[in-house]
Structure 1
Amino acid sequence: MARPASGSKQQERQRLIAEHILREGTVKIDGLHEQFEISFMTIHRDLDELEARGLIRKSRGWVTAMSSSVAEASDVFRQGQQEHEKAALAAAALEFIAAGQSVFLDDSTTTAQLAPLVAARAPLTIITNYLTLMNEVRQAREIALIGLGGTYMTWSSSFLGSVTTNSIRSIAADLFIMSSSAVIDDVCYHHSQQTVEVKRAMFESAARRILLLDHTKFERRALHALLAITDFDEVIVDDHTPPETVDRLRNRGISLTVAPSLSES
């Protein structure tokens, strides 16, 4: 029997399993046991957790991907997508953060890339509903953490609902940094209405707002309208964004930063 994995190893394994299932669509559970060389008990435990996060569905020896335009892929899967682009966006966003500020960070895996960087701007106050981010920054020196409670959603590893939004509305922050699931006709969209409500509350409670978008967001669709790109004080895109998209956004009067790839900077 396989020995219990540490938290980080288990998370990485689950991410790889999720990527494989989403790529294939439907796979046999026996095949996953053989491919990842882990016990049946471990594979079923991993699949149960991924199913609880709303990413996959188990049925009679098979497992099926559940990601679609109306169901956001879980953070386990999203953490492994466009990692280099997200890191570049976070590095560019850091330039807009000043010491002493209070900063809302949403529950996106893009803004989570700021976690190892914010110490360079300490002292700071970080305000977030994203449990993964809370765990990353809670021990950083001179970083005050305000964790927003509410109803915990395993699929997003974040707190959502009326308790969360009411807490946000009692705070006046200097800055809000967020990402979005998709951009359609220059409007940000998200799969979850509850997530939309939390992001809007953060937007309304911040003095300055920054939007981070990797190039794939312009190719995707989601269900619920969030905010227009023109509502933000600054939009940061990665350098794989098509030049015609960059030109069009700038022609609309949007303050736009193109984040260079870190390997080239």
Structure 2
Amino acid sequence: MTAMRDDPVVAGDARQGRQAQRQRAITEAVMSEGAVRIEELAARFDISVMTVHRDLDELEGRGLLRKSRGVATALSSALVESSDVYRASRQLVEKEAIAHAALDFIEPGQAIMLDDSTTTLHLVPHLAAKKPLTVITNTLTIMEELRSANGITMLGLGGQYYNWCSAYMGRITTTTIANLRADLLVMSTSAISDDVAFHQTQETVDVKRAMFESSSRRILLADHTKFERRALHAMLPLAQFDTVIVDTGIDPVHLARLREKGVNVVVARRASRQ
């Protein structure tokens, strides 16, 4: 036990986890109020002003907040909501249940594509149970998690790196995807309107569509809040996916309508606690 406590890798991971949680809280606080003085953030989160400045510098670099003259100011809520910093803390129980349900569609020996969604990220720790696998992704977070995983071959899609979503996108990315053929795509979406998946940014839509076209089977992961949100760019109709996995919080009206349209909807049940 003492050795684990003193392990610098374990300590570093814990420190990064606390920092990420704090940065999400700072982002939400500034989004909620529009603008907050840096000294107030330091007092609110019981950290030094220097630490707040470091956090804000990183968040500003990711396009989430602006820091000027001692004040942190919120930027576009649409951009913030599409960032991995914001999304990672939302609907955790639902995302975990959906990820477990998606695992049933993965078979050993497959080549699978994973997009940059935080719902898909919940699937990653469970992939070892399905090895051997080839995982194709544009998401740096997934690459880092799987880089030393036994039995998993990692194909990282390069391109222009976008810090706000920890992913590579652009023409290099989509061209590379077009030259691949995956057995399965697992992806998510920011919003669903009129039974069509939408996203806030065109760059993200381009990558997800390229992945869709290069995969034999396609699964969409969508927690119930996606049906309550709006985004600018249309991506794909839900009817085009082989399976749409939702959680038990979905409005029965949405569920009935999708099934009436012939959409194969799977409702993920929350794992029972022992």
Higher helix proportion (structure 1 or 2): 2
**2:128 maps to which residue?**
119
CA contact 1:55–1:73 (8 Å) conserved in 2: no
**2:160 maps to which residue?**
151
TM-superposed CA distance for 1:61, in Å, is 2.3
Q: Pick from 83, 93, 100 the counterpart of residue 74 of structure 1.
A: 83
Letter of the structure 1 residue corresponding to residue 122 of structure 2:
Q
Q: Is structure 2 residue 243 aligned with structure 1 residue 239? A: no
Q: Pairwise mapping of residues 97-246 of structure 1 onto structure 2 (< 5 A)? A: 97-246=106-255
Distance in 2 (CA, whole Å) between partners of 1:74 and 1:13 is 15
TM-superposed CA distance for 1:89, in Å, is 0.7
**2:4 maps to which residue?**
none
CA contact 2:81–2:87 (8 Å) conserved in 1: no
Distance in 2 (CA, whole Å) between partners of 1:54 and 1:126 is 28
Q: Pairwise mapping of residues 1-80 of structure 1 onto structure 2 (< 5 A)? A: 6-69=15-78, 72-80=81-89
Secondary structure of the structure 2 residue equivalent to 1:98: coil
For 1:84-124, what per-residue CA distance to the aligned partner results, in whole angstroms no more than 9, with x for missing partners?
11111100000000010000000000100011011111111
TM-superposed CA distance for 1:75, in Å, is 0.6
CA contact 1:104–1:176 (8 Å) conserved in 2: yes
Distance in 2 (CA, whole Å) between partners of 1:139 and 1:22 is 37
Paired residue total:
262
- Structure 2 portions without partners, runs of 5+: 1-11
Q: Aligned in 2, Cα 1:239/1:264: closer, same or farther, shift over 3 Å?
A: farther
TM-superposed CA distance for 1:178, in Å, is 0.4
CA contact 1:108–1:178 (8 Å) conserved in 2: yes
CA RMSD of aligned residues (A): 1.7
Higher relative contact order (CA 8 A, sep 6+): 1
TM-superposed CA distance for 1:70, in Å, is 5.9
Distance in 2 (CA, whole Å) between partners of 1:60 and 1:71 is 21
Letter of the structure 1 residue corresponding to residue 235 of structure 2:
L
**1:259 maps to which residue?**
268
Distance in 2 (CA, whole Å) between partners of 1:25 and 1:262 is 37
Letter of the structure 1 residue corresponding to residue 56 of structure 2:
L
CA contact 1:71–1:191 (8 Å) conserved in 2: no
